[in-house]
Amino acid sequence: MAAAAQQDPNVPSQREAIELATGWRFHFGDVPASVTGSNFDDSDWEAVSVPHTWNRVGEYALERGPASNNAQGVGWYRLTLDAPAAARGIRQYLDFAAVGKIAEVWVNGQRVGGHKGAFSRFRLDVTDQWRPGQRNLVVVRADNSKPTADNAAGQVIPLAGDFFVHGGLYRPVTLLQLPEASIDPLDYGGPGVYARTAEVTDARAVVDVRTRLRNQGDARDLELTTQITDAKGKVVARTVRPVQLAPGTAEVSDRLIVERPHRWDGRADPYLYKVTATLRGKGKVLDRVTQPLGLRTFRFDADQGFFLNGRHVKLHGVSRHQDWLGSGWALTPEQHERDMELIEELGANTVRQAHYQHADIWSDLADEAGMVVWAELPYVTAPSLSGGKGSESLWANAEQQLRELIRQNYNHPSIMMWAVGNEVDSAKGFGIKGDPPKPLALLQHLNEIAKREDPDRPTTFADCCEGLGMMQTAGEKLAGTADLIGYNRYYGWYYPKPLEARAQLGEMLDKMHGEHPELPISVSEYGAGGAISQHTDDVTGGFINFVGRPHPEEYEAWVHEQSWPAIKERDFVFASWVWNMFDFASDLRDEGDAVDLNDKGLVTADRKVKKDAFWYYKVAWSDTPAIHLAGKRYVDRSYPAMTVKAYANSPKASLTMNGRAVGETICVDFVCEWRNVPLVPGPNKAQVTTVGGEAVLDDAATWNGPDPEKGVRIDAGNLATRNLDGQRFGSDTFVTGGAPMVLNLVGFGGRSLRPRRDVAATRPELFEYWRQGEAFSYAVPAPDGDWTVTLYLFEPNEEATAGQALTVTANGKPVIRGLNVSKAAGGSLKELVRTFPVTVSGGVLKLDFASVGGNASLAAVEISR
């Protein structure tokens, strides 16, 4: 090893790239064949800058607005530029950081190449078509057509999925000018320099560096310098070697020793070195590439979880999609940085890059933040749209995209696993017709490719269906294909008996660990939808419409409150990733308070609002004392009493309401609750304070209580509150027995669980959900005195039972006897309103419903003077 020396300060530390950001013209749709020529008139095309996408998908509204654009098809880009001059022998490369989804490129009227895949970098050698120092024309055809069994997009992964594939030049475009002999720019879009940490001890680190070279001229004698610099720029290891480079490509390997290495240690200390390869000819620098280097060891254990540098670390974090509301996939560096800031604030120590290769800057930010990263190939949902294991062309495309993913991201120390698929046996859930495709063969092939590309990092994939029996699959056993596995499991959301979420998740993890004792297990997705404008008084009361409306913010938080403890207490679960950090675009979705958005994010898609679930994790994952009052956005309360909830990492918390002490409560799994806290009409100022922790912290909120003299209204079966005709109906609360109901399950491809729209009623909205059962009862808080109760009843079954008879008692006294609802209403699906007087004593009205010969079906209750 040669003596350490400082890098020449007069030579750039990295090859220079010329940005091609401005001056582009764009058109979506059909164009004549002359579009690639210089005589084509594009003056009426839209002037755009790159990064750019033509899609704008997702908004917080109940219907698509005029600004929405989920068009899929072909978009055209044209750029006329005065090219910089170049010395003789300089080669010209166009560098596309990503094009969604299939690209074709022309330079000065000649086709120079293309690329299939929406997420990876590709470079084209355009030297023969380029005119240095003159005017040049670049034309790009970008195609994000919806895949079908017989179009080009149907042979390029992903074929389907619950996210929208944006079209366009959505990442930067640059021009590289390199000499004939250089570090290879055409190695699957990779850097050409690949550093592998072969050994790390406290005394030394051994780093093997492979540098790929390309020579498109005559054979020549060159010199390659490889060096490692520390975070302060000091050279700590260096080799210099002569290289005889023949025409073509070659690979040179060097071993460097770093004495007393400073380790990259995740969030605790994400220390970064740099490795730089410099190619010289006749004493002149020809090319230079610098890459990040983190020196660390890691391993996964099936029983004990994840270890970083020999220390056990419980990985807890989030998945992230790359779109922003209003920007689509065309993100700025500042937007990427804001995303990482929010994830760091949350207390996460790992990020899953869903469901595809993310931007270079995102992986740089993960390195710098100390995140452990799951990097993923977009093999999603299915290998084929026509059955079977997929075509040869699709396999070739999947392999190409995997090699691009690994080579382009090889040097990021944050990346510790390569995911070769996500829910690859979920085709039937996305409406793919015919027999379920067979995903195993391609999954196995990709796993082999990943191991050949990078033997040091384990492979993984995310499973959706093993052991669930809820979706038709080809029946292939996928677990064990990769070194690790992640389970996408939505207990409390998609599955039966949602209120048993914690037990179900724990039982599933124990079962899978027992069935695959040698396989390290993670939870790669879990969560629920959350709409910040929709709220519930009781998360256990109403129907959970998981792909429709409503999605109360409080219910999303509750699902996470149930899920995290089940994960936390199992050391064999090496990692978990919340689905998702941010609401994201999916035009399969019409739910919550949004359209074309999956609303499972902890933060809204515009990054403006941190939902209650965000604050739960910020408290649970915090290393410092923290407290937060939940439910602040549910300001105008429906009932004169409420459950107050706070998140705290102290043993206890204390609550005052309007300056009066409510009392202390024990905080269990970071959740502190006070039930049936009375509210006065108008503003109620709550303050919660930590008790018994390292520091005294507090948080406050104001809730408006209703006037109890104006009555109580309950929307039976509904999980959320609603306003109708100026009247507030609370969510289904104060109830025991029966079950909340909705019309029917149409399935994910059908977009939603359908609330009723077919009941003939004065206010049909009240009949969208209902409570049903042979017996159920309500204990409703109400001031003492005389009241009138109005019940909204109906028969939901078109073939009603002739012998059905409903009896209702109020505080033990019969008020309705032997009522056949269908007969009294004049048929099924017709509103039947019944009113009766009651006298309340003791502050509670007890209503009991009992039915024989058929269920009772209650849409709403009104208690008024």
Residues with a catalytic annotation lie at: 423
State the Cα–Cα distance between residues 140 and 159, nearest whole angstrom.
Answer: 23
Residue 629 backbone phi and psi in degrees, to 5: -85, 125
DSSP string, 241-305: EEEEE-SEEEEEEEEEEEESPPPEEGGGEE--EEEEEEEEETTEEEEEEEEEE----EEEETTTE
Residue 94 near residue 105, CB atoms below 8 Å: yes
Q: Enter the tokens of residue 623.
A: 């290393």
CB 642 within 8 A of CB 623: no
Cβ proximity of 512 and 476 under 8 Å: no
At 715, the amino acid letter reads D
CA distance 581 to 752: 23
Euclidean distance between CA atoms 268 and 309, whole angstroms = 11
Taking the C-alpha atoms of residue 559 and residue 502, their distance in angstroms, rounded to an integer, is 8
Rounding to the nearest 10 degrees, give the CA dihedral for residues 463, 466, 469, 474. Answer: 80
Q: Are 734 and 778 in contact (CB under 8 A)?
A: yes
Tell me which residue of 359, 352, 398 sits closest to 375, measured CA to CA. Answer: 352
CA distances (Å), 127 to each of 98, 153, 172, in order?
A: 21, 29, 20
Contact 611, 532 (CB under 8 A): yes
Phi, psi of 226, rounded to the nearest 5 degrees: -120, 125
Burial class (CB in 10 A: 0-12, 13-18, 19+), 240: middle
CA Rg, the chain, in Å?
31
Please give the distance of CA 250 from its chain centroid, rounded to a whole number: 40
- Are 559 and 527 a contacting pair, CB within 8 Å? yes
Of residues 669, 318, 740, the one with CA closest to residue 506:
669
If DSSP codes are grouped into helix, strand and coil, which group holds residue 138?
Answer: strand
- Residue ranges of alpha helices (H) inside 543-622 are 553-568, 612-620
Q: Is residue 681 a contact partner of residue 636, using CB atoms and an 8 Å limit?
A: no
**End-to-end CA separation in angstroms for the chain:** 92
| Structure-token pair, residue 560 | 């996470």
CA distance 297 to 287: 31
**Is residue 858 within 8 Å of 770, Cβ to Cβ?**
yes
Candidates 343, 444, 431, 327; CA nearest to 389 is 444
HEC-encoded secondary structure of 786-849 = EEEEEEEECCCCCCCCCCCEEEEEECCEEEEEEECHHHHHCCCCECEEEEEEEEECCCEEEEEE
Spatial CA neighbour of 529 closest among 540, 545, 505: 545
Tokens of 90: 């300089």
Alpha-carbon gap, residue 326 to 166, rounded angstroms: 12
Integer Cα distance of 682 and 530 in angstroms: 27
Q: Which residues pair with 807 in a beta bridge?
A: 850
- Beta-bridge partner residues of 856: 773
